[in-house]
C-alpha cells in the first residue's frame, strides 16, 4: 500500500479523554477515532490489526475443533428473562423496543441464544460434544467506559459455548479452549498470566482469566512470588489472621461522642486511632434494584419491626457486614459466604436508619435495633478490640471485643473470608503480591446453569434425559490490540508484534524527488509485494524527518530506508522498530534480507 493513497491521520495532540498509553497511541497513530462515549471507529490501520487478531483467534478456535456460526446481536429480551440475566446485567444491557412494542436486547454475550439453539437441535448424546462460537460485536452500557477500546460500550468478542455429556467431557472441552487461548495470545505477541477466577469446587464451575500485566489495567492480579498461586482480586483468598492478644484487660464498651464524624478516616483523626483498629459495618440486602421489593421491605420493617424480614430465605434479607476499617468488602466472597444469595449494598438511608436507629455512618454490631444477620470477616473476629459505630447518631463505641460484645457464633452469625486481599496478606503462608492487568480472555465451566433453564437436554446411552454440561469462553479482540500496545511502545510510538502489526514492513523513501532513490524504493516495494509481504511504502512528498517520526509512531516492525547517501554506495538501511541500530545491506539483497527478517520475527511468535 502506498502511504500517499491510504488514510492514516496521525496527530500530535491527544484528546483529553485518552487516559492510558494505548488509547493515546491509537489516536495519535491514526488507528481509531472516537464516535461517542465508549464507541470507536477503527481506521484502516486499526482495522487491519483487528482483522489479524481475529484471524489468529479464528485459526486457533478451528484448530481446537470449535465451529464458527453467527447469531444476531439483537435478541428477544424474553430469552434473557428466562435465565434471570436481564436482571443480573441490569442497566449494563442495552434494550431496544421494536415497532410492535417488543423488547430486544443488544447482546452483551450470547449464552441464551446458543443454548436455545442447541436445545432445539441436539437430541442425543451422539450429537455431543459440540463447541460453537462466533466473533461479533457485543454491547455493554458500561457504567464507566474507559481507556478507549479496553472498556468500551461496543466491542468485538469471540465467544464460544461448549456442550458436553459428562463432567470429563466438559473438562476436556475446557482444557481445549484453555490451550487454544494460550496459543492465540502467544501468537499475538502478548505476555500474559492465567489466574484463577472462581473456585473449581462446586458442580461444574471453575474459571480462569487470561490477564496481560500492565500499568493501566483495571484488574488486579494477586499472586505469590513462587507462582504457586495466582487469582484475580475478586477471588484471591487470604489466610485468616491470628487472634490478637489483648495487651491489657479491655474495659467495658464505652460510647464516645463523634459529632458529624462518620467516615473511617474522619473518626480515626478525631479519636487518634488507625483504620485497622476500627470495625466498619455495612448494611447489605438481597434486593438490588427492584423498587417494588424495596417498598415491601420498608413496609415490613416499619410495621413488623423485625425478624420476619431479616433472615436468609426471606422475601427480603438484610445483613450487617463487618470488615476492619482498613479493609474492603469483597462482594463475590460475601455472596459465596451467604451460600450464593445475591446481595448488594443497601442504598436506602431510611432502611439503614430503621435498622440501626442512627443516621448512616454510625452502624455497628452492638445494639442494632433490628437483629439482622452479622457477617463477620475473619480479621474482625481476630481483633482484640475495636471501635465501631454505636447505632446512635453522632456516637461511636470503643473497647468493642468480638465474641464478648457481639457474638462470633450462633444463629444468624457468619464468620468468613469476605474481604479483598491487601498488602501484607498471605495465602497458605506465602506473601501475596499485587499487579495491575487487562483481562483479555476468560474461560468458564458453567455446568448446567443455562441448559436446565433453557431446556438443552439430550438422551444418554441408556435413554435417560440429561441436561448438557456447558462451558463458555470469551476473548476481547479489541483488548488484545490495546494490550499489545500497552506492552510494545517507547516514547516515540508503538512497537508492534509482527503477527498483528497493520503492515509487516515499511519502506521509506527519503528523497522522493530523486529519481534514482524513488526508483530503488519502488523496486524494493514491488519485490516485497510480489513475495506476499505486507508492505507500506512511504512515497509521500515529505522530508525524511516527518517520515521517520511517523515511522516510529506507527511502529511497523521491519523498516527499509532508501536514501541518497547510502544508495550512493549501493546500499539501503534495514532496521527493526524495536532496535536502535540499523544495518546496511546492498540494494540487490534488500528484498531477500527483509523477507528473512520478517520470517525470523514471525517464527519468534509461532505457538
Ligand X SMILES: Nc1ncnc2c1ncn2[C@@H]1O[C@H](COP(=O)(O)OP(=O)(O)O)[C@@H](O)[C@H]1O
C-alpha cell read off for 288: 438490588
> If binding is defined by CB under 6 A, does position 386 make contact with ligand X?
no
Q: How far is the CB of 479 from ligand X (least distance, A)?
A: 4
Nearer to Mg ion, 49 or 442 (CB): 442
Candidates 83-91, 373-381, 437-445, 463-471; binding stretch for Mg ion (CB under 5 A): 437-445
Farthest-apart Cα atoms in the chain, separation: 96
> If binding is defined by CB under 6 A, does position 155 make contact with ligand X?
yes
Q: Convert residues 96-125 into a mask of x (bound to ligand X by CB under 6 A) and - (unbound).
A: -------------x----------------
> If binding is defined by CB under 6 A, does position 364 make contact with ligand X?
no
Q: What 8-state DSSP symbol labels residue 589? A: T
Q: How far is the CB of 34 from Mg ion (least distance, A)?
A: 24
Candidates 56-64, 123-131, 142-150, 441-449; binding stretch for Mg ion (CB under 5 A): 441-449
Nearer to ligand X, 405 or 439 (CB): 439
What CA–CA distances, in Å, run from 116 to 27, 77, 203? 40, 13, 22
* Nearest 10 degrees: Cα torsion 348, 351, 353, 359: -10
Strands 130-139 and 67-68, bridge-based pairing:
parallel
3-state secondary structure of 166: coil
Nearer to Mg ion, 379 or 442 (CB): 442
> If binding is defined by CB under 6 A, does position 157 make contact with ligand X?
yes
Q: Rule CB under 6 A: which of 184-213 touch ligand X?
A: none
CA pair distance 471, 111, nearest whole angstrom: 10
CA pair distance 237, 244, nearest whole angstrom: 20
Residue 142 binding result from Mg ion, ligand X, none, given CB thresholds of 5 to 8 Å by partner type: ligand X
Q: Where are the alpha helices (DSSP H) in 272-386?
A: 291-304, 331-337, 349-356, 378-381
Cβ(52)–Cβ(45) below 8 Å: no
Nearer to ligand X, 109 or 412 (CB): 109
Q: How far is the CB of 78 from ligand X (least distance, A)?
A: 21
> If binding is defined by CB under 5 A, does position 442 make contact with Mg ion?
yes
Q: How far is the CB of 84 from ligand X (least distance, A)?
A: 16
Q: How far is the CB of 180 from ligand X (least distance, A)?
A: 14
CA pair distance 460, 471, nearest whole angstrom: 19
C-alpha cell read off for 533: 509481504
CA pair distance 245, 231, nearest whole angstrom: 31
Residue from the set 213, 441, 555, 563 that interacts with ligand X by CB under 6 A: 441
Q: How far is the CB of 110 from Mg ion (least distance, A)?
A: 14
Nearer to ligand X, 48 or 158 (CB): 158
Q: How many CA atoms lie within 13 A of 269 on its CB side?
A: 7
* Nearest 10 degrees: Cα torsion 481, 484, 485, 491: -170
CA pair distance 415, 283, nearest whole angstrom: 16
CA proximity to 19, closest of 399, 533, 482: 482
Nearer to ligand X, 148 or 557 (CB): 148
> If binding is defined by CB under 6 A, does position 152 make contact with ligand X?
yes
What residues line the site for ligand X (CB under 6 A)? 109, 140, 142, 151-152, 155, 157, 439-442, 474, 476, 478-479
What residues line the site for Mg ion (CB under 5 A)? 442
Amino acid at each position: 500500500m502506498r502511504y500517499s493513497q491510504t488514510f492514516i491521520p496521525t496527530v500530535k495532540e491527544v484528546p483529553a479523554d485518552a487516559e492510558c498509553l494505548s488509547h493515546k497511541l491509537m489516536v495519535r497513530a491514526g488507528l481509531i477515532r472516537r464516535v461517542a462515549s465508549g464507541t470507536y471507529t477503527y481506521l484502516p490501520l486499526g482495522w487491519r490489526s483487528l482483522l489479524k487478531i481475529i484471524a489468529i483467534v479464528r485459526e486457533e478456535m478451528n484448530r481446537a475443533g470449535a465451529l464458527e456460526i453467527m447469531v444476531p446481536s439483537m435478541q428477544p429480551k424474553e430469552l434473557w428473562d428466562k435465565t434471570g440475566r436481564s436482571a443480573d446485567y441490569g442497566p449494563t444491557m442495552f434494550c431496544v423496543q421494536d415497532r410492535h412494542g417488543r423488547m430486544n436486547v443488544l447482546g452483551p454475550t450470547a449464552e441464551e441464544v446458543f443454548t436455545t439453539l442447541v436445545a432445539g437441535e441436539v437430541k442425543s448424546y451422539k450429537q455431543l460434544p459440540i463447541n460453537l462460537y462466533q466473533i461479533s460485536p457485543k454491547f455493554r452500557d458500561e457504567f464507566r467506559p474507559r481507556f478507549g477500546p479496553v472498556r468500551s460500550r461496543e466491542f468485538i468478542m469471540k465467544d464460544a459455548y461448549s456442550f458436553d455429556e459428562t463432567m470429563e467431557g466438559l473438562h476436556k472441552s475446557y482444557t481445549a479452549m484453555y490451550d487454544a487461548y494460550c496459543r492465540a495470545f502467544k501468537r499475538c505477541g502478548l505476555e500474559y498470566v492465567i489466574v484463577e477466577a472462581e473456585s473449581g469446587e462446586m458442580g461444574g464451575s471453575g474459571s480462569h482469566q487470561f490477564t496481560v500485566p500492565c500499568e493501566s489495567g483495571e484488574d488486579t492480579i494477586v499472586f505469590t512470588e513462587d507462582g504457586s498461586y495466582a487469582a484475580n482480586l475478586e477471588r484471591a483468598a487470604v489466610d485468616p489472621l491470628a487472634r490478637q492478644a489483648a495487651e491489657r484487660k479491655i474495659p467495658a464498651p464505652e460510647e464516645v461522642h463523634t459529632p458529624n464524624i462518620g467516615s473511617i478516616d474522619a473518626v480515626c483523626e478525631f479519636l487518634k486511632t488507625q483504620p485497622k483498629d476500627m470495625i466498619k459495618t455495612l448494611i447489605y440486602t438481597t434486593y438490588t434494584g427492584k423498587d417494588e421489593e424495596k417498598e415491601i421491605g420498608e413496609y415490613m420493617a416499619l410495621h413488623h419491626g423485625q425478624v420476619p424480614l431479616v433472615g436468609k430465605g426471606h422475601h427480603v434479607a438484610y445483613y450487617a457486614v463487618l470488615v476492619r476499617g482498613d479493609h474492603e468488602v469483597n462482594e463475590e466472597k460475601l455472596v459465596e459466604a451467604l451460600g450464593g444469595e445475591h446481595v448488594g449494598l443497601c442504598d436506602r438511608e431510611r432502611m439503614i436508619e430503621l435498622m440501626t436507629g442512627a443516621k448512616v455512618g454510625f452502624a455497628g454490631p452492638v445494639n442494632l435495633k433490628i437483629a439482622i444477620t452479622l457477617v463477620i470477616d475473619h480479621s474482625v473476629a481476630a481483633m482484640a478490640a475495636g471501635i465501631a459505630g454505636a447505632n446512635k447518631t453522632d456516637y461511636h463505641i470503643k473497647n468493642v471485643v468480638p465474641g464478648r460484645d457481639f457474638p462470633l457464633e450462633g444463629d444468624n452469625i457468619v464468620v468468613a473470608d469476605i474481604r479483598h486481599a491487601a498488602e501484607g496478606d498471605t495465602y497458605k503462608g506465602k506473601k501475596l503480591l499485587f499487579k495491575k492487568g487487562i483481562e483479555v480472555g476468560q474461560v468458564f465451566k458453567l455446568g448446567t446453569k443455562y441448559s436446565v433453564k433453557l431446556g438443552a437436554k439430550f438422551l444418554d446411552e441408556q435413554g435417560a434425559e440429561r441436561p448438557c454440561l456447558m462451558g463458555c469462553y470469551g476473548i476481547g479482540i479489541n483488548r488484545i490490540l490495546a494490550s499489545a500496545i500497552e506492552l510494545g511502545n517507547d516514547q516515540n510510538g508503538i512497537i508492534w508484534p509482527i503477527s498483528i502489526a497493520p503492515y509487516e514492513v515499511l519502506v521509506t523513501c527519503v528523497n522522493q524527488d530523486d529519481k534514482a532513490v524513488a526508483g530503488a524504493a519502488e523496486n524494493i516495494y514491488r519485490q516485497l509485494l510480489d513475495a506476499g509481504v505486507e508492505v507500506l511504502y512511504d512515497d509521500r512528498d515529505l522530508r525524511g524527518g516527518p517520515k521517520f517520526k511517523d515511522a516510529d509512531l506507527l511502529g511497523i516492525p521491519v523498516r527499509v530506508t532508501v536514501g541518497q547517501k547510502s544508495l550512493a554506495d549501493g546500499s539501503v538501511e534495514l532496521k527493526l522498530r524495536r532496535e536502535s541500530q540499523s544495518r546496511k545491506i546492498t540494494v540487490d539483497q534488500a528484498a531477500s534480507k527483509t523477507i528473512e527478517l520478517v520470517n525470523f520475527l514471525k517464527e519468534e511468535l509461532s505457538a
